Chain A
Amino acid sequence: MPVPTDPSPALADYAHPERLVTTQWLADNLGAEGLVVVESDEDVLLYETGHIPGAVKIDWHTDLNDPVTRDYVDGEGFAQLMAAKGISRDSTVVIYGDKSNWWAAYALWVFTLFGHEDVRLLDGGRAAWAAEERPTTTDASSPAPTDYPVVERRDEEIRAFAPDVLAHLGNGPLVDVRSAEEYTGQRTHMPAYPEEGALRGGHIPTAVSVPWARAAAEDGRFKGRAELEAIYAGEKGLQQGDDVIAYCRIGERSSHTWFVLTHLLGYDKVRNYDGSWTEWGNAVRVPIATGAEPGDAPARRS
């Protein structure tokens, strides 16, 4: 049974307010039957320093990624992970984390690849909970194992691969959510250190630049719908019905933007290109644009 959604007026304007909960709602609902709270952070030890009582930890590196292939776990792996974390197929899962919920959004996106129906973010994440001095604990959570079905991962709707992006050039909008320096292709050479991660700098031609953080308010919560629309629709021209692909460096910041576009603004065809710049910037003979302009789609190679 899903836990009732958060009726807070603060969320009501969003396209899918049922995908967010406020800190107050979570405080009121901790321990509710069918609710599992998940912490997902950039820092793999942060959970251990203190977490929301009863929350379980899911780490993007060590839990969600396949250890060998650059891919997510498969249906079997996900089912095992869910079972170990006490999550059932019909659980309401609320995810929160550090860095304005980057990794929480990433985890939510992976849950969505497996079609887990009721998965929500805690607006403001870990920082908002801490700022309000709400209770935390270092006690390890030991959920009762569940029986989660093996569900095949469905990538096609919300995940883009490099060939999809190539085919997309000139046919639909691309959103680059990295910093301006990464977008333009400027390099920051550190003394005695090679730049790691990508051999080439710049962005995918035609991509508009909207650094992910523009969607976040000062306190790490999401900006209101009108402000978000002013950025993505007003300034960048994304229209309802557009087939949108977002990317960053490894797909984590673009999960945040994917969440904003899909659940807060209601775009229904948004894909996250998780290969992102660490794939594109290393791939042979893919087109790249540098500088502040999006650049043109290249002529098709026959």
Chain B
Amino acid sequence: MSAATAGGAPTEGLPPALAEIVEDFHAVSEPERLQLLLDFSRGLPALPPRYAEHPELLEPVPECQSPIFLLTEVDDDAERSVHLFFSAPPEAPTTRGFAGILAEGLDGLPAAQVLDVPGDVCSRLGLDRAVSPLRLRGMTGMLGRIQRQVRESTAA
């Protein structure tokens, strides 16, 4: 549904790194967007050892068709910078791709900016036809969980 962007550019209200990703997707044809998503899937950073050894610390995302787990860390600095960690198997490249976009687009941002990311961002990537809205719901689920974790971490 591109109605999400009615009246504005698809990048409206997005932090710069995420806006750039959205622009990159729109700059290429639909089949190439799948390839770009695959690049994000391949680029998803592996878990650092402190989490790789403790997978139970990560939160599952049941909105995704494939198993994915995520965790956010919020630094104690003035901006409360956010760091994201994901774990998804190689047999789930689409889910890994969504995670890769969120990692590249949000990691290191101040908590306030992460919380301000509009919930419809996943429908602004131009992937509705190539990937289908149903699958994109998984990405929305990831974003919702990231924001909830950040809200909980910064509430105290």
List the interface of chain A (C-beta within 8 A of B): 42-46, 48-49, 61-62, 67, 98, 188, 190-193, 196
Contacts and interface: CB of A to CB of B under 8 A. Distances in A.
Interface residues of B, number: 26
Nearest to B37: A45
Contacts of B63: 193, 196
A98 B92 CA distance: 10
Contact of B34 (A48, A190, A192): A48
Given A62-B132, A191-B148, A192-B144, A44 B94 contact: yes
Interface stretch (B3-11, B49-57, B133-141): B133-141
Nearest to B141: A193
Contact of A44 (B90, B131, B137, B141): B131
Q: Is the interface of B mostly helix, strand, loop or mixed?
A: helix
A61 B34 CA distance: 14
A62 B148 CA distance: 31
B154 interface: no
Interface string B32-52: 001101100100000000000
A45 B127 CA distance: 12
Contacts, number: 53
A-B interface, 8 closest residue pairs, ranked by CB to CB distance from nearest: A61-B132, A45-B93, A45-B94, A43-B94, A192-B148, A48-B38, A49-B93, A44-B94
A43 B141 contact: no
A188 B63 CA distance: 12
A62 B30 CA distance: 12
A46 B131 CA distance: 12
Contacts of A196: 63, 137
Given A48-B38, A62-B129, A43 B134 contact: no
Nearest to B31: A140
Contacts of A62: 129-132
A229 to B, nearest CB: 31
Contacts of B130: 44, 62
Contact of B144 (A46, A61, A193): A193
A74 to B, nearest CB: 18
B65 interface: yes
A2 B34 CA distance: 34
A98 B67 CA distance: 14
A188 B60 CA distance: 13
A43 B144 contact: no
B65 A43 contact: yes
A46 B93 contact: yes
Given A61-B134, A62-B129, 17 more contacts: A43-B66, A43-B91, A44-B130, A44-B132, A44-B135, A45-B37, A45-B38, A45-B93, A46-B91, A46-B93, A48-B34, A48-B35, A49-B41, A188-B62, A191-B148, A193-B63, A196-B63
A49 B97 CA distance: 12
B72 interface: no
Contacts of A191: 148
A157 to B, nearest CB: 27
Most buried by B among A45, A62, A67, A190: A45
A43 B35 contact: no
A232 to B, nearest CB: 27
19 contacts: A43-B65, A43-B91, A43-B92, A44-B34, A44-B94, A45-B38, A45-B41, A45-B94, A46-B93, A49-B38, A61-B132, A62-B131, A67-B129, A98-B91, A188-B62, A192-B144, A193-B63, A193-B144, A196-B137
